[in-house]
Amino acid sequence: MNKKDFSRRDFLLKASAIGAVAIGGSSVLAACGGKEGASQAPAAAPAAPEAAPQTASVTCDDLSGLTDQEKQMRTALQYVDETTIADKRCDNCQLYIEPEGDSPCGGCKILKGPIAPAGYCTSWAAKQA
Ligand code: SF4
């Protein structure tokens, strides 16, 4: 065995060890993010905070068509027309329904009644791509 062969063997052993570490590492990372991947993924790549809401304040408080129970649901989920959390708004929530026609208010898959694009409630969930 000459020095060149030893170097090649040494290289192959190191390369396979690095590969094993890379595979093991990716498995560990996948396992760490697997259970709560949807809620954890955005935290891994935080975006710069938005400066200001993109729309002027919209009031979506006409609850005349709602039952008492539906109104209570809005209250229980602490719905507000204007969020205080810059990156959590109804219009970037998975449950938001875009406005139709000329209405500035959209809807929500779990809350009845008009929903402001800049609104927020405690059931906010990041919109999936
Ligand atoms: S779940 Fe809450 S944050 Fe999401 S669209 Fe409905 S009211 Fe807005």
Query: 50-129, which class in CATH?
Result: few secondary structures
Q: Which of 89, 92, 61 is nearest to 75 (CA)?
A: 61
Task: Supply the residue whose CA is at minimum distance from atom 7 of ligand 1.
Answer: 121
pLDDT band at 57 (very low <50, low <70, confident <90, very high): confident
Q: pLDDT averaged over the chain? A: 74
Supply the pLDDT for residue 42.
Answer: 47
Give every CB contact of residue 127 below 8 A, 6+ residues apart in sequence.
Answer: 92, 93, 94, 96
Indicate the domain borders of the chain: 3-44, 50-129
What number of other Cβ atoms are within 10 A of residue 49's Cβ?
8
Supply the pLDDT for residue 41.
Answer: 45
Task: Supply the residue whose CA is at minimum distance from atom 6 of ligand 1.
Answer: 108
Q: How far is the CA of 50 from the centre of ligand 1 (A)?
A: 19
What is the pTM assigned to this prediction? 0.59
69-113 pLDDT, tens digit each = 999 999 999 999 999 999 999 999 999 999 999 999 999 999 999
